[in-house]
Structure 1
Amino acid sequence: MYRRSKRLGVWPAALLVLLSVSSARAETLRFFAAGDLPYFAAETEQLRDLFDTAEAEGTPFLIHVGDIKSGSSPCTDANLKEVADLFRARAVPLVFTPGDNEWTDCHRERAGAKDPRERLARVREVFYGDPSVLRLDRLGVVRGEGADATDYPESYAFMRDGVLFVALHIVGSNNGYAPDDPAAVAEFEARDEANLRLLRQAAALAGERDATAMVIVFHANPHFENARPARGFVRLRRALVELMGAYPGPVLAIHGDTHRFKHDRPLIDPATGEPFNRFVRTEVPGSPVVGGVWINVDPRAEEPFGISEMYPISRDRLMQ
């Protein structure tokens, strides 16, 4: 195994005092996350080995941030079922949020020229319609209110060891926003609003349950480095800024999409022009690099989110 720890800078003393007071009961939580896999047949076995190792090392659940196939491979029920079977065979629950390759990009000719909304319905049916696939009931998940609970089964929140996890359905390819397709625009608008409602609900839940940290999971890279985000990510970026005002603890965003490992503080506070020190982003590696990240959450630590990469074989060999 190849591992490399990554740490960020020192947190302000005032914030450390706040966290140490509010999280005296918290324990260190360690879990494993991956995504943008498998794109090819060989990667399926490598992903299974990766998950086997993570389970053997004690992860209480697994996270997959989406894109379970390449964007140019056919969108088929067989592919969905193959990955669902891989997830079902895991010994621990699996937190899965869909990627664009599963449905948004299925309109591409090489992907089968399928209707994206029809493929999204199948993703929901295969992965969330059968509780044995992800076993989210073992995590005690809380879904959105009203119709959101049934219309968006892929979006939910749960608590683990004082940490609040929130899974949002935000995908690459501009979050499914296609201005020339009225049906795509309608789907995007409704899903975007549901995501924002869940994020607001999560902020309230964090206060009610005295969450010592928050972890937000979604697929898309919202391109934090761009001052003016693409249309599909405008409200998400705004909502994350609002969250930092509503929730006083550390926040970690885990995503995939661009297949490059990142660990940084990219969210800018519009009031100061500087990055929020409490907001950390981790992007998991992806195909052709088969790997993932171990995440340690300890709000009492100098750096609440400790990250270690894990690869089944040397990353240098994978990149050759």
Structure 2
Amino acid sequence: MKKGFRFLAVACAMGLSCMTGAAIAAKPDPPLTVAVFGDWPYSTPLLNNAPLLLNSVNNDPEVNLVIHVGDIHSGSMPCTGAGLNPIPAGANPGWNQGVFNIFQQFKDPFVYTPGDNEWTDCHKTKESSSGYPLNELAAVRSLFFPIPGYTLGGVRKEVASQALENEGNPTDAQFVENVMWKQSNVLFVTLNVPGSNNDGLPWSGGTGQFLNEGARLQEVAERNASNLRWLDRAFKKAKNAAAVVIALQADMWDLAAVVPGGDGLNGYDEFVQALADHAVAFGRPVLLLNGDSHIYGADQPLADPTSATGLIHHTQAVPNLTRITVQGSTNTPNEWLRLAIDPSSPNAFTWQNVCYLSCP
């Protein structure tokens, strides 16, 4: 036996790490394709046309994950999740259940994060002052998150849930909707960050019947703190990841919200600053997926602190953060976002819109 092989044999016999021949190259992480949409369905016709969306997504052989970024009915539709009695005029008591049933028909794991229309805004007169926000949020959690730590969809994917991972912060256990998972060396995380200035508007109702500033302020404080802890946890888990994907509902750079009479965007300042800090420290691609403003767009909102979007939250420059706002179902063409992720690519993300209804 040659001296080199004799040493190798002895080392292996001693339990030391060894390899024969050339070094074995690490197997690259496989690419991943994700279907993303939100602000859907906004009307009965759109719900009735759900098979078109289902077929378009389910028949794509490369899609293996689906994400919905919130708003399961329009902002002028009464909320019905909490079983209202009497039922407001124009309400559909079975709406949420019908949407849930559609979600379950997607063949791949289906991840949903709540939007403002299904809970935050239920007090508004344009939603017929149809529900107390905390009751509606509880109803959404009960229906759409029945098994903490698992997704919806034809394949229930196991995920980390803040409802189960809340050491030292027992109030975080209520946030069953906040989940994270790692797939193809990419860290995915969802957070309950709704529109309407992050639930920053008083719960008025048509006659002030829902006014409860103490409860609203407590809700906002608890959720913001939990979101910050969950975001921090996500980036810690992403230490060696190729990229991070964040999904939430709010358009935190909606310029229409900062004009006189708008809802404002200051309710997101703390979260956006934390996002900026984490993204800069991470140093690799970070993608934020949101809905809320309904018109497709892609930008780098924090790349230039002197830009229109950069001046909203006044963070440092964050060149590695990309944001995509998905097309809402009230606009045509009706599209879903086909997000391709290649963890071996320096840019990680490419995407295109796929039309399924009212196509040009």
Interval of TM-score (by shorter of Structure 1 and Structure 2)? 0.7 to 0.9
Q: Which segments of 5 or more consecutive residues in structure 1 lack a partner in the other structure?
A: 1-22
Larger Rg: 2
Structure having the higher helix fraction is 1
- Measured at CA, do residues 90 and 121 of structure 1 come closer, stay the same or move farther in structure 2, by a change above 3 Å? same
Matched residue, 1:239: 274
- Cα distance between partner residues in 1 of 2:200 and 2:254: 18
Cα drift, residue 151 of structure 1: 0.7
2:121 aligned counterpart, secondary structure = helix
1:127 paired with 2:144, answer yes
Q: 1:264 aligns with which of 299, 307, 320?
A: 299
Cα drift, residue 177 of structure 1: 1.7
- Measured at CA, do residues 234 and 175 of structure 1 come closer, stay the same or move farther in structure 2, by a change above 3 Å? same
1:10-25 to 2 correspondences below 5 Å: 25=28
The answer to whether the 8 Å contact 1:168/1:217 transfers is yes
Matched residue, 2:320: 278
- Measured at CA, do residues 32 and 73 of structure 1 come closer, stay the same or move farther in structure 2, by a change above 3 Å? same
Matched residue, 1:166: 189
Matched residue, 1:3: none
- Cα distance between partner residues in 1 of 2:53 and 2:155: 24
- Measured at CA, do residues 152 and 268 of structure 1 come closer, stay the same or move farther in structure 2, by a change above 3 Å? same
- Measured at CA, do residues 37 and 259 of structure 1 come closer, stay the same or move farther in structure 2, by a change above 3 Å? same
Structure 2 residue identity aligned to 1:93: P
- Cα distance between partner residues in 1 of 2:55 and 2:255: 35
The answer to whether the 8 Å contact 1:93/1:138 transfers is yes
- Measured at CA, do residues 239 and 98 of structure 1 come closer, stay the same or move farther in structure 2, by a change above 3 Å? same
- Cα distance between partner residues in 2 of 1:232 and 1:271: 20
Q: 2:246 aligns with which of 200, 208, 216?
A: 216
Matched residue, 1:195: 227
Moved more, 89-98 or 64-73: 89-98
- Cα distance between partner residues in 2 of 1:137 and 1:198: 25
- Measured at CA, do residues 76 and 130 of structure 1 come closer, stay the same or move farther in structure 2, by a change above 3 Å? farther
Structure 1 residue identity aligned to 2:53: L
Q: 2:108 aligns with which of 84, 92, 97?
A: 92
2:49 aligned counterpart, secondary structure = helix
The answer to whether the 8 Å contact 2:111/2:151 transfers is no
- Cα distance between partner residues in 1 of 2:119 and 2:254: 24
Structure 2 residue identity aligned to 1:134: L
The answer to whether the 8 Å contact 2:280/2:318 transfers is no
- Measured at CA, do residues 315 and 52 of structure 1 come closer, stay the same or move farther in structure 2, by a change above 3 Å? closer
Identity percentage of aligned residues: 32
1:28-67 to 2 correspondences below 5 Å: 28-58=31-61, 59-67=63-71
> Normalising to structure 1: TM-score of the pair?
0.83
The answer to whether the 8 Å contact 1:97/1:218 transfers is yes
Cα drift, residue 271 of structure 1: 11
The answer to whether the 8 Å contact 1:265/1:275 transfers is no
Matched residue, 1:118: 135
- Measured at CA, do residues 48 and 219 of structure 1 come closer, stay the same or move farther in structure 2, by a change above 3 Å? farther
Structure 2 residue identity aligned to 1:240: L
> Normalising to structure 2: TM-score of the pair?
0.74
Moved more, 136-145 or 150-159: 136-145
- Cα distance between partner residues in 2 of 1:232 and 1:84: 29
- Measured at CA, do residues 157 and 137 of structure 1 come closer, stay the same or move farther in structure 2, by a change above 3 Å? farther
Using CA pairs under 8 Å that are at least 6 residues apart, name the structure with larger relative contact order, 1 or 2.
1
Structure 2 residue identity aligned to 1:255: N
- Cα distance between partner residues in 2 of 1:137 and 1:314: 30
- Measured at CA, do residues 26 and 130 of structure 1 come closer, stay the same or move farther in structure 2, by a change above 3 Å? closer
The answer to whether the 8 Å contact 1:266/1:275 transfers is no
Moved more, 82-91 or 66-75: 82-91
- Cα distance between partner residues in 2 of 1:271 and 1:203: 26
Cα drift, residue 224 of structure 1: 6.9
The answer to whether the 8 Å contact 1:224/1:267 transfers is no
Cα drift, residue 284 of structure 1: 0.4
| 1:62-107: CA deviation from partner (whole Å, max 9, x where unpaired) | 1110101011111113221111111122222211000000011100
Matched residue, 1:295: 339
